[in-house]
Structure 1
């Protein structure tokens, strides 16, 4: 049999000739190691908490400690026709078919079925689908819903709502997070 140090694999248990050096030993007695907390407790932000069973859930001290989801970056300088989430002449039912397997907050923009020069935002929500028309005012500015700021272009509207909640009743908790990309054959 060959010498244990020449074997290409670790020596069998109990056949080590020397003790591991202090550098190789793992130390757990440091102040950084908290044996009493679970891994999930160590991942939670610091601050007051209440039991999820008591109906309180996790409570944070400040908004900065909350994680906020931000949608994929939209280049608002690209024209609408060049945006990956613009699907052109797509019907409402075709939009819903594309959104069916998507996550909540997935979206696409398409031409309105009623008027091809108008546009609609189709969105996947937890209740199903929402379709909202972009309104274009006489000054050329676009608005989504009734309480939206005015924007020069639809890509600017989409860019804004990737970081802000939608001003639409029933979708106040949603932002535009996941663009549904045009699939080319």
Structure 2
């Protein structure tokens, strides 16, 4: 049974907002050493997963009485412009999978006349994934710069105010500020 049919059984016939939040960061190393299976796993979850979620929820987003919105939790580590800033973080599989999902968001934005499509990055917060990456880089993991409540609050504000003209197809952080691609 597909997602739309499953939700229909629950009397959910439309979706106003979808947030693609699943992601992994499991590999530390340079491009010269990354293994194919590490790349495939990161792309499968971080890039292909949000595209498949978009496809699965599209029929319900199209039925929204409001402006439908599709957000992808990404990372500034997927920014080509900021690559030098994050050079000490040797996360090739994660970096390129997040860059690819940002590109996919831009493509979906251009294909959809009505749906707001925005990749967002919550900042470095105290999660297992963020702390593990910081630890790999030798950074202090005890006090991430973004508190989880602040990230959630900022993202919720962005989810509420995002429009097709101002936000769709662009990359934003947890404060609603544009992230250079």
TM-score by length of 1: 0.28
Question: Of Structure 1 and Structure 2, which has the larger fraction of its residues in helix?
Answer: 2
Greater relative contact order (Cα < 8 A, sep 6+):
2
Question: Of Structure 1 and Structure 2, which has the larger fraction of its residues in strand?
Answer: 1
TM-score by length of 2: 0.28
> Which of 1 and 2 has greater Rg?
1
